[in-house]
Structure 1
Amino acid sequence: MNDLHAARLSLQAGGSDARTEIERAIEISQSPACAHVFTRTMFDEARQGAAEANPQSRLAGLAFTSKDLFDIDGQPTPAGSVVLSHAPAAKADAIAVARLRAAGGVLTGRTNMSEFAFSGVGVNPHHGTPINVSDNATPRIPGGSSSGAAISVASGAAFIGLGSDTGGSIRIPAALNGIVGFKNTARLVPADGALPLSTTLDTVCAMTRSVRDAITAHEILSARLVTAGTAPLATYRLAVVKNVFFDGIEPAVAAAFERTLNALRSAGARIDEIELPELADLQSINATGGFSAAESHAWHRLLLERSGAGYDPRVAQRIVRGATMKAHEYIDLINARRAWIARVETALASFDAVLSPTVPITAPSIASVAPGAERDDEFFRVNALLLRNPSIVNMLDGCALSLPCHAAGQLPVGLMLWHAALHDDAVLAIALQVERALQNQ
């Protein structure tokens, strides 16, 4: 499947045109592969956008999708819920949507998501659950919360899936669907026009089909140029953190990760195994509930009072936990996080990036975690496993990229490259080299 760069080169060479590409995207969007992917489509507007597209623009009239929590001018912003389906229409596009449009992207629709972005599983009881593209025999979870955005990219319906990442909501579905997801340092992309989950942790970012496309998407969203050098892998010093990230890991994920490390070492990479004892502090730091519960409750408390019966019970359960956090506990949490970030940054200062499994499991079946109280225990077990590794980077205020590292014919497994805040360009540069090494093995 072509990535954005290849499609754009084809357009410029006259091998295709934007209208043909949009019709192809619409056809896939309407196929069984995209069942439950969209909460609202915009195909007529997309056709008009493609007809007017400039093939020399960065996105050249090619398709992108937008997670349902971003404002789109003239539409309500339901964020995967039913309680906001009749909210007042937005008066302008979210900044991220506006930037993708200004770069020549054509928006084909709003994508499904975990309600209010509060789950890494991707199940939605209101709009159905998008189906992972990797297994035709067993319907598997897409990962969340940017579930529909991931399937739109993995199925071929879009080249960029705009989403958000609060605890892994870009990287989890990217890993489970075998595509690329880049979580930039949060402050680099404005969140204006995005319905919040946690104002401390929320990051506006995207999924793509390749690392080079991830760089393009990030440059557009952040309105800056990435300095991605071409130095060989041997130039960089990489780390593997052995504690926490591998707890409860599935054998298939462990095998894919070890095979990846061997391939990178064969390509010249210097990889050191380290302990990061600071990770053990996270449980006590978040003991009073964490940022997502407290900050989501602050936003939702009045809506819950009015319309709580319309919420996904699993989401409401997590939000109401924030009601018990006291003001001094929230301030203590902010201060503890700041001190923890400083300690971790010091521990990682001599490394250019860290390598970890994005998530420790492959995608379980939708049936095992589908809505229903009898499956709640399994849902929350899976949710915790999916969120554990990527959420560490959000607490660090860091940046991370997930790219596929599984062998052909196997369920997707993600490799996560990460570091502290504002190491984005180094992570992206290394990811380019890692992607090339894995493609050549």
Structure 2
Amino acid sequence: MEGSKVFTTVFADSAQREAEAADQRAAGSTRGPLDGRIISVKAIFDVAGTVTSAGSAVLRRLPVAAHDSVVVANLRTAGAIIVGKTQMTEFAFSALGTNPHDGVPGNPRDRNRAPGGSSSGAVVSVVDGMAEIAIGSDTGGSIRIPAALSGAVGFKPTSGRVPLTGAFSLSSSLDTIGPIAMSVADCAAADMVLSEHHTPSALRPASLGTFRLSVARGRLFERCEPEVANAFEHTIQRLGSYGVLIAERSIDAALDDLARIDGIGTFPSIEVGATLRGLGLGSLEGVDPKTRVRIEAGEGILAVDYVRMMRLRRAAVQSFEQSFAANEVLVLPTTPIRAPLLSALEDDATFHECNGLVLRNPRVANILDCPSISLPLPVGGLPVGLMLIGRRGTDRRLLEIASTVESTLQRGSMPTTSNRSDQN
């Protein structure tokens, strides 16, 4: 049964109480945009009375959490009905959704394929209708990748927008927390609660002509499956035909900055080791070999090189932020490939190749500290994701623009006119 692989813990009793309380409030005042909404939370979050296993068998022996994480506490205060903790990849440290300890929920569009990760159970809980909104984490694409591969909307905020207290840390430098849902409006509603940015009005879609989508041509389009490339190009043509301003630009300078950091090491490989030691884990015995090899890659990084990585990142973030024009949003395929077959991922070489491919595009927004969202494209067959990347700190504006893009893609047949801009 697929549901048994989606949740690691189900909160049947407390969810019933929360639902009854929400029903009683229905005739009175609401607690906000998530009052009475059915929410799942990733197994990365502390929930009082449960162990925060973060998808790992070696962490199951930890004591139960004494308190809810800040995110879970905020959800409860907002009247959300929290139905359970969802499956994830071990330590949130891979992007395909596999887990040898707890099982793998099959992709809701094809159960023989990977759902995407690390928020694997999160996306399946939403697409399969077990929850209206799922709360996940995104360190290198772990919200947007499953959204893209499984056909949902996934939003990653700017770093620091959502409090991380009480969440297992894969990378203290890159971790963010955000929602997966079936609409931009639901992601925006969840973001209001998660970020404690309570605004009185609902999300207002951006007006056409007030923003520009810049296609980030170049390296991030390499090795795209034909189905992904065709869906993307058709989408850009369609958006332009409806009046969305479209331009093209290069972000090669930013990618060069990232390559210099990657030439030294990766933040998750280094920082998750510190997290595990802080939890008293002195050995990687019992850790999935596919995860273990990535953690071990960070063990040899010298402290001086880690400091260099931090400094290079700060400079890259500042430079990239300054490169954005007013009301500009970058657009590209979320992942260059669609969901791979789970059977193919049993081979280590194939696993690491596919894992690197799906991470390649989304992780740019994490390292450069930008808000980003993945939208499902209206295609037949396996899902394809469209990723928008906004300027650092422009989270609400990005959601407004994403709402307009979403509604435009949901219109009828494509007109024949075009509206492309040559602005850089």
Which digits, 9 at most, give the CA deviation of each residue in 1:208-233, with x for residues without a partner? 11000111000000011468544422
Q: Output the CA distance in 1 between the equivalents of 2:175 and 2:342.
A: 26
For residue 62 of structure 2, what is the aligned residue in structure 1? Answer: 87
For residue 40 of structure 1, what is the aligned residue in structure 2? Answer: 9
Which digits, 9 at most, give the CA deviation of each residue in 1:99-124, with x for residues without a partner? 11111111111111000000001100
The 8 Å contact of residues 33 and 133 in structure 1, kept in 2 or not, is answered as: no
Aligned residues: 403
1:351 Cα deviation (Å)?
A: 4.9
Kindly tell me: are residues 305 and 401 of structure 1, through their superposed partners in 2, closer, same or farther at Cα, counting changes over 3 Å?
A: closer
For residue 120 of structure 1, what is the aligned residue in structure 2? Answer: 95
Answer 1 or 2: which has greater helix percent.
1
For 1:436, which of 392, 407, 416 is the aligned residue? 407
Q: Output the CA distance in 2 between the equivalents of 1:231 and 1:86.
A: 48
Q: Output the CA distance in 1 between the equivalents of 2:324 and 2:146.
A: 27
SS of the residue 1:163 aligns to: strand
Q: Output the CA distance in 1 between the equivalents of 2:97 and 2:251.
A: 30
1:124-273 to 2 correspondences below 5 Å: 124-135=99-110, 139-225=112-198, 228-273=203-248
Q: Output the CA distance in 1 between the equivalents of 2:198 and 2:240.
A: 30
TM-score by length of 2: 0.92
Q: Output the CA distance in 2 between the equivalents of 1:393 and 1:230.
A: 22
1:328 Cα deviation (Å)?
A: 1.1
Question: Identity of counterpart residues, as a percentage?
Answer: 43
For residue 396 of structure 2, what is the aligned residue in structure 1? Answer: 425
1:304 Cα deviation (Å)?
A: 8.5
Kindly tell me: are residues 347 and 306 of structure 1, through their superposed partners in 2, closer, same or farther at Cα, counting changes over 3 Å?
A: closer
- 1:386 and 2:358 matched: yes
Q: Output the CA distance in 1 between the equivalents of 2:386 and 2:286.
A: 37
Kindly tell me: are residues 237 and 133 of structure 1, through their superposed partners in 2, closer, same or farther at Cα, counting changes over 3 Å?
A: same
The 8 Å contact of residues 257 and 312 in structure 2, kept in 1 or not, is answered as: no
1:348 Cα deviation (Å)?
A: 2.1
1:285 Cα deviation (Å)?
A: 1.6
TM-score by length of 1: 0.88
For residue 7 of structure 1, what is the aligned residue in structure 2? Answer: none
1:281 Cα deviation (Å)?
A: 3.0
1:308 Cα deviation (Å)?
A: 2.1
For residue 385 of structure 2, what is the aligned residue in structure 1? Answer: 414
Q: Output the CA distance in 1 between the equivalents of 2:378 and 2:176.
A: 26
For 2:35, which of 60, 63, 71 is the aligned residue? 60
1:284 Cα deviation (Å)?
A: 2.0
Aligned residue type for 1:81: S
1:50 Cα deviation (Å)?
A: 1.0
Aligned residue type for 1:340: A
Aligned residue type for 1:189: V
For residue 404 of structure 1, what is the aligned residue in structure 2? Answer: 376
For 2:367, which of 372, 395, 416 is the aligned residue? 395
1:282 Cα deviation (Å)?
A: 1.6
Which digits, 9 at most, give the CA deviation of each residue in 1:352-390, with x for residues without a partner? 2111111111101111113xxxx1000000000010000
Q: Output the CA distance in 1 between the equivalents of 2:293 and 2:72.
A: 31
Aligned residue type for 1:127: D
1:289 Cα deviation (Å)?
A: 1.3
For 2:19, which of 26, 45, 50 is the aligned residue? 50
Aligned residue type for 1:345: E
RMSD: 1.6
Q: Output the CA distance in 2 between the equivalents of 1:206 and 1:90.
A: 22
The 8 Å contact of residues 352 and 426 in structure 1, kept in 2 or not, is answered as: no
Structure 1 window deviating more from structure 2 (418-427 vs 121-130): it is: 418-427
The 8 Å contact of residues 39 and 112 in structure 1, kept in 2 or not, is answered as: yes
Aligned residue type for 1:378: T
For residue 281 of structure 1, what is the aligned residue in structure 2? Answer: 257
SS of the residue 1:141 aligns to: coil
SS of the residue 2:357 aligns to: helix
Q: Output the CA distance in 2 between the equivalents of 1:61 and 1:153.
A: 16
SS of the residue 1:355 aligns to: strand
For residue 314 of structure 1, what is the aligned residue in structure 2? Answer: 290
For residue 294 of structure 1, what is the aligned residue in structure 2? Answer: 270
Kindly tell me: are residues 388 and 88 of structure 1, through their superposed partners in 2, closer, same or farther at Cα, counting changes over 3 Å?
A: same
Structure 1 window deviating more from structure 2 (39-48 vs 228-237): it is: 228-237
1:347 Cα deviation (Å)?
A: 2.3
The 8 Å contact of residues 375 and 386 in structure 2, kept in 1 or not, is answered as: yes
1:234 Cα deviation (Å)?
A: 2.1
Q: Output the CA distance in 1 between the equivalents of 2:341 and 2:394.
A: 35
Q: Output the CA distance in 2 between the equivalents of 1:309 and 1:230.
A: 50
SS of the residue 1:233 aligns to: coil
Which digits, 9 at most, give the CA deviation of each residue in 1:305-351, with x for residues without a partner? 64522111111111121111111111111111111122222222345
Structure 1 window deviating more from structure 2 (32-41 vs 314-323): it is: 32-41
SS of the residue 2:154 aligns to: strand
The 8 Å contact of residues 406 and 414 in structure 1, kept in 2 or not, is answered as: no
Aligned residue type for 2:383: P
The 8 Å contact of residues 378 and 409 in structure 2, kept in 1 or not, is answered as: no
Kindly tell me: are residues 245 and 233 of structure 1, through their superposed partners in 2, closer, same or farther at Cα, counting changes over 3 Å?
A: farther
Structure 1 window deviating more from structure 2 (280-289 vs 244-253): it is: 280-289
1:237 Cα deviation (Å)?
A: 1.8
Q: Output the CA distance in 2 between the equivalents of 1:92 and 1:304.
A: 20
Kindly tell me: are residues 51 and 305 of structure 1, through their superposed partners in 2, closer, same or farther at Cα, counting changes over 3 Å?
A: closer
For 1:363, which of 339, 342, 360 is the aligned residue? 339
The 8 Å contact of residues 396 and 420 in structure 1, kept in 2 or not, is answered as: no
Q: Output the CA distance in 1 between the equivalents of 2:307 and 2:280.
A: 24
Which digits, 9 at most, give the CA deviation of each residue in 1:116-169, with x for residues without a partner? 00000110000110111112xx51101000000110011000011111000000
